[in-house]
């Protein structure tokens, strides 16, 4: 039986492309805004495109934020994608600002125009700083697809897994325990991105079998 992976529906995600990628990876995706249904799954994907403050408000209002934190505390894997990646952090200065989930210590700030065109859009290579299960089989210098105007800055450098170059180093992948985030869109990143989802499904499978969460 395939593992169930919740895809959080909070009004700002490209849900169907994430759903297709998870099906291709062998999972049973559950697109939901119901915290109780989300909490019953073997892992969670937090996708997203749009504004940080509006997204964080919706997560809190709908009870999704609390459910996501409970999933993480239980040892099950969480993957934040693009805006979902940024929501893993504590705070963003986008617009009027806003508080994130606080699962990765650090801040989200606007890309500096002096460092490159904003928004950062298109295919870029990633530079893998350390190997984690999410990137098993993904080549260093693999091309992946980015669309963003803000980026996360982990307070602990050990949480940074991979970077990309956009007029300087930009964090592309983070991991803290069983919490993962990709600033790029794996579902739009060809074979490398599908491998990321396949690896995440494997993490969910391991969690469903009672494996302990990976250490930070």
CATH of the domain at 187: 3.40.50.880
Q: Does residue 214 lie in a domain region?
A: no
Domain membership flag for residue 121: yes
Is 82 noted as a catalytic residue in this protein? Answer: yes
Percent of the chain with pLDDT over 70: 96
Task: Please write the tens of the pLDDT for every residue from 134-162.
Answer: 999 999 999 999 999 999 999 999 999 99
pTM for the complete prediction? 0.94
Catalytic, out of 8, 82, 94, 148:
82
The structural domain count of the chain equals 1
Does residue 216 sit within a domain?
no
Catalytic residue (one of 85, 148, 166, 185):
185
Is 215 contained in some domain?
no
Better-predicted residue by pLDDT, 116 or 28: 28
User: Which residue has better confidence, 11 or 96?
Assistant: 11
Predicted confidence at residue 41, as pLDDT, reads 97
Q: Could you list the residue range(s) of the whole structural domain that residue 119 is in? A: 4-208
Which is the catalytic residue, given 85, 94, 120, 187? 187
pLDDT digits (tens, 9 = 90+) for 161-204: 999 999 889 999 999 999 999 999 999 999 999 999 999 999 99
| DSSP sequence for the chain | -PPEEEEE-SSS--HHHHHHHHHHTT-EEEEE--HHHHHTSSEEEE---S-HHHHHHHHHHTTHHHHHHHHHHTT--EEEETHHHHTTEEEE-STT-EE---SEEEEEEEPPGGGS-SSEEEEEEEEESS--GGGTTPPTT-EEEEEESEEEEESSGGGEEEEEESSSEEEEEEEETTEEEESS-GGGSHHHHHHHHHHHHHHHHHHHTTPPPPP-
Whether 197 is in a domain gets the answer yes
Residue 56 lies in a domain: yes
């Amino acid at each position: 039986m395939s593992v169930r992976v919740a895809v959080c529906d909070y009004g700002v995600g490209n849900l169907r492309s994430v759903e297709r990628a998870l099906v291709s990876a062998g999972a049973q995706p559950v697109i939901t805004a119901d915290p109780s249904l989300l909490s019953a799954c073997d892992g969670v994907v937090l996708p997203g495109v749009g504004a940080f403050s509006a997204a964080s408000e919706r997560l809190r209002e709908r009870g999704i934020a609390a459910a996501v934190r409970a999933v993480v505390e239980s040892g099950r894997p969480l993957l934040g994608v693009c805006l979902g990646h940024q929501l893993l952090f504590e705070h963003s200065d986008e617009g009027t600002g806003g508080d994130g989930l606080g699962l990765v210590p650090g801040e989200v700030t606007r890309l500096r125009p002096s460092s490159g065109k904003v928004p950062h859009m298109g295919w870029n290579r990633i530079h893998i700083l350390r190997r984690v299960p999410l990137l098993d089989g993904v080549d260093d210098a693999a091309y992946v697809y980015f669309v963003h105007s803000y980026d996360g800055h982990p307070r602990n450098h050990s949480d940074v897994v991979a970077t990309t170059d956009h007029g300087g180093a930009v964090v592309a992948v983070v991991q803290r325990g069983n919490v993962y985030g990709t600033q790029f869109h794996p579902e739009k990143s060809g074979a490398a991105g599908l491998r990321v989802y396949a690896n995440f499904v494997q993490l969910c499978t391991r969690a469903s079998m009672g494996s302990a969460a990976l250490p930070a």
